[in-house]
Amino acid sequence: MANSFLHKKTEGPTIIPPLAEPGQRLKSRVWYRVDIPDGMSGDGSEYHIYVKRAPSKDLCIFLSGGGIAWNEYTAARPVTAPKMLIRLPNYYWSNLRPVTQIMNINIGITQTGSVRNPFNDWNFIVIPYSTGDLHLGNNEFVYHTGNGEESTLHFHGYTNFRSAMDAGSSFFPEAKRILVAGNSAGAFAVPALAGDIADLYYPDCKDITLFSDSGQLLYKKWKKTLRDIWKTDKRFWSAIHSENITLDFYRALFQKYGNRFRCLYSSSTRDYLLSTYYNDVTNKVYKTDRDVQDAFFADLQKMIKELKELSGDFGIYIDPWKFPFTQGGTVHTAVRELYFAFKTVDGITMARWLADAVSGDVYDVGMKLLL
């Protein structure tokens, strides 16, 4: 049970948001936490979402990132602060400790009160992620820890998603425009779950934009992972026909819905984190370097080409941003980072590009970086 001090109600952006019950009238531009009794994090602890009301009929449903556990080895190595500091293998967040709130609200697209953020006046349902299964799993996975002890990873991603949408949509029963966005693990989930959002929760909304920020990880055993380890619904694992799960999900989406959705994708050129994962998948080495970053770049060139072949209207944003922590590579995700509304490519911020796209003006930024 959560401590009572976590529930203190305050005005405006808060470090610890007040609690709200489904259907409750919300104050405008205040983040609230909504507990999900049917939800469960990967380690068995509690699960919650965040919502924010704004003076509009626009709604952003944000699928958060937080790593992947694709086999027993990765399941046994969740993220911890010490492992991150010394760069030991750490693959996914297994709970919603207070620090993970920093990853979810009041930053980038979710920042409130910023004149630079064109989504300040959008309503939000933020669906946190702590299950390592791309929001798709439905399994109790027994594995052995590094100490040889038996433990269970609760792949409850899809149950969490549906329960989150049941609760979140009660605050926003109607929407004029919808943006379904996700970063990192959430980016993979966007095309997989867009149909559920449109068909089950907002069937009357005709203006829906999908945005995947940084969702490229090639892996030959994706279908096996979804089918046998995460035990997802058949419609998810049966859509996988290649190493590129995101591309396969978008292919299945276009096959079923045609041009029902406006689609967008973004990536940095040599993503330091996804290239680390890729190196681990292919070479069993948990680190990034120039060679694997170049391999990531070559795969990105191919992926963007294939997304454009799915639809010439697929909007793309490519950035070359580097910081000291990127280990020689480029940043991992931008939509929920400080530089979302500050850094530019071709003179255009991601914030402006995304705001234009949801208004129907879809274009590409940074394509020359792929040459």
Tens-digit pLDDT profile for residues 156-191? 999 999 999 999 999 999 999 999 999 999 999 999
Alpha-carbon span 184 to 241, nearest angstrom? 21
**Closest C-alpha to 54, from 133, 171, 206, 188:** 171
Q: Give the pLDDT band of residue 2 (cuts 50, 70, 90).
A: very low
Q: 3-state class of 209 per DSSP?
A: strand
Q: Output the pLDDT for position 5.
A: 24
Q: Which residue has the tokens 């590129």?
A: 244
Q: Output the pLDDT for position 86.
A: 67
Q: Which residues contact 120 (CB under 8 A, 6 or more apart)?
A: 29, 54, 111, 112, 113, 114
Alpha-carbon span 366 to 39, nearest angstrom? 39
Query: In the predicted model, what is the mean pLDDT of the chain?
Result: 93
**β-pair type (344-345, 348-349):** antiparallel
Q: Is pLDDT of 81 > 80?
A: no
Q: Output the pLDDT for position 100.
A: 80
Q: Is pLDDT of 234 > 70?
A: yes
Q: First-to-last CA distance in the chain?
A: 53
* Span 5-29, average pLDDT: 67
| H-run or E-run covering 356 | helix 350-358
| pLDDT-above-90 percentage for the chain | 88
* Span 17-46, average pLDDT: 94
Q: Output the pLDDT for position 4.
A: 26
> Do residues 155 and 140 touch, judged by C-beta distance below 8 A?
yes
Q: Output the pLDDT for position 93.
A: 94
Count other C-beta atoms under 10 Å from residue 192's C-beta. Answer: 28
**β-pair type (177-183, 58-63):** parallel
Q: Is 22 exposed, middle or buried (0-12, 13-18, 19+ CB in 10 A)?
A: middle
Global pTM exceeds 0.85: yes
Q: Output the pLDDT for position 15.
A: 63
Q: Is pLDDT of 1 > 70?
A: no
Put residue 53 in one of left, alpha, beta given phi > 0 → left and psi -120 to 50 → alpha. beta
Q: Output the pLDDT for position 295.
A: 98
Q: Is pLDDT of 7 > 50?
A: no
* Span 18-35, average pLDDT: 93
**Closest C-alpha to 62, from 217, 175, 152, 168:** 168
Q: 92-138: per-residue pLDDT in tens?
A: 999 998 878 888 999 999 999 899 999 999 999 999 999 999 999 99
Q: Output the pLDDT for position 145.
A: 86
Length of the chain: 371
Q: 272-296: per-residue pLDDT in tens?
A: 999 999 999 999 999 999 999 999 9
